[in-house]
Amino acid sequence: MANRWWIYQRERFPLVAHLPLIAAFSGSAVSYSALLRGEAAFPGWGALLVAFPTAALFFLQLRIADEFKDQEEDRRYRPSRPVPRGLVRLRELAAIGLFGALVQLTLAFAWDPTLAPLLAGVWLYLALMTCEFFARAWLRARPLTYLWTHMLIMPLVDLYATAVDWLPAQGLPPRGLAWFLLVSFFCGTVVEIGRKLRAPADEEPGVPTYTALWGRPTAVSAWLGAALLGGMSALLAAERIGAARAVGCLLALPFLGAVAAAWRYLQRPVSSRSQLFEPVSALWVLLTYLGLGALPHLLPLGR
């Protein structure tokens, strides 16, 4: 039993890759909210111990939702995945998702019961995503609309994570928080596009990658454009806390690295080069969140 769940997480929700990003995501949300409120000290462990597991469970629930909405495609085109090959069952995943929701609700009430309506709002949007907003065929025919409607979950999760700080402190979001939520939207877009950029030899029938849907130049341009817009949003968010210079310096080099990875792939779209998009995306997101959440505390002279 334990071994098959270990295999499942390794294939579909690798903790080694996901947890550092989720820790940066949730820690940055709590820290940035506190900085907007004028709190110079790093947030206490209590807020972080609520935000981190709640965010981790949100992302796990997103993975479980994907297993449900993609079950027919997986059965036809990706039978080697854990659910179609019988390693785990959908009802078992549903039970884990519901148990995770119970843990999230318990944490919310233990920290501040007024978090519960926000939590319910994220759950509602997640449920609509799982049902593909009751417009599956229409959305699947419009990849860009499909992308942005599903990426809206990111600022919603981020709003909840920031609320762990601002809701008990002042009841309303601090001014300037919208820029941070926009950062999360573009960071999610960078990761989503980056994991679906393939070399021609790696394209699979029935798998809607962005390189297959849009063509290689357009798909790579969209990935770089999302990174650029995310970087601009991060600078505007950093300006609200007096850290624009430090964040700009932190993100300049990885953005140039992303440009180099994109150029090399377009020059020669082979597997070894297409496989760089996912780790480069993860590094970009990690540094963005560390820049907005940790850097202002570690390098106060860089503000």
Helix axes 177-194, 153-170, angle to 10 degrees: 150
pTM above threshold 0.75 = yes
pLDDT (tens digit, 0 to 9) for every residue of the chain, 303 residues total?
Answer: 679 999 999 999 999 999 999 999 999 999 999 999 999 888 889 999 999 999 999 999 999 999 999 998 899 989 999 999 999 999 999 999 999 999 999 999 999 999 999 999 999 999 999 999 999 999 999 999 999 999 999 999 999 999 999 999 999 999 999 999 999 999 999 999 999 999 999 998 888 899 999 999 999 999 999 999 999 999 999 999 999 999 999 999 999 999 999 999 999 999 999 999 999 999 999 999 999 999 998 765 434
Q: What is the DSSP string of 8-23?
A: HHHHHS-HHHHHHHHH
Instruction: Give the whole-angstrom CA distance, residue 157 versus residue 123.
Output: 10
Amino acid at position 238, single letter: A
The ranges assigned to domains in the chain are 2-302
Q: Which CATH class is domain 2-302?
A: mainly alpha
